Structure 1
């Protein structure tokens, strides 16, 4: 198993800009938005989308700005029910009315999606 622990925006960007063949099959990233300017989050999400076309990318976040850059099929909400984790992915159709007025992060912030403490 090819495992790497990287921290900081420079390391993260270096990882994501490698030739895709050099990346592990699954990349886990925890709260990549920490310390980033909001515009840099937009650039970072573009890198995520490029990598996710060929590799499994799992990103955990508490950032409304980061989630705002995603579509419903990009987001899996994790909740705790009866001492077990539950996972839910929403479709565009399920959120159609909300998406006319709000971005994904704003919908999440309003607790429509769940995933709240």
Structure 2
């Protein structure tokens, strides 16, 4: 298996003990009904990649709106701890679900 290129961040992030549980509690404080699902896990050498999806609700002008967001996270593992994490998630999809951006683009507006 091909080894991933190592980057050298300007600032090293230290792992937080119980960090995943802290993130779950913070998300639940925003929306007690939030659900976080890991859909796929890939691991190679000192990297772990997760494909995930979260469902919950967000405050909207007419009350709570159901939202669903998908994303990817890649973690660099050292001594059994995630020392760096990179996240990418569907920000445009969230803005569309909240009504801030039209779901379909008008081709005439793109000319």
TM-score relative to the length of structure 1: 0.26
Asked which structure has the greater CA Rg, the reply is: 2
More helix by share: 1
Tell me: higher relative CO, structure 1 or 2? Use CA pairs within 8 A at least 6 residues apart.
1
TM-score relative to the length of structure 2: 0.27
